Amino acid sequence: MKADASVYEGKRVIRRALALVPGLERVQPNVVTVAILIPAVLAGVGLWQGWWILAAIGAAGRMVLATLDGYVAERFERRTPLGAYLNRIVTEVADAIVLLGLLGQADALWVALAVGSAWIVNVAGVLGPVAGGSSGLAPRVRPTGSPSCSARRSWRSYGRSTGRSSAGCSSC
- 18 neighbors 67 (Cβ within 8 angstroms): yes
Each residue of 83-112: pLDDT tens digit? 989 998 999 899 999 999 999 999 999 989
Summarize pLDDT for 12-25 with one digit per residue, the tens: 889 999 999 999 99
CA atoms in the 13 A half-sphere facing the CB of 171: 8
Tens place of pLDDT per residue across the chain (172 aa): 455 556 667 788 899 999 999 999 999 999 999 999 999 999 999 999 999 999 999 999 999 999 999 999 999 999 999 998 999 899 989 999 999 999 999 999 998 998 888 888 877 776 666 667 665 554 444 444 444 444 444 444 444 444 444 444 444 4
Alpha helix ranges (H) inside 2-80: 7-18, 29-35, 37-49, 52-75
Distance (Å, rounded) from C-alpha 95 to C-alpha 105?
17
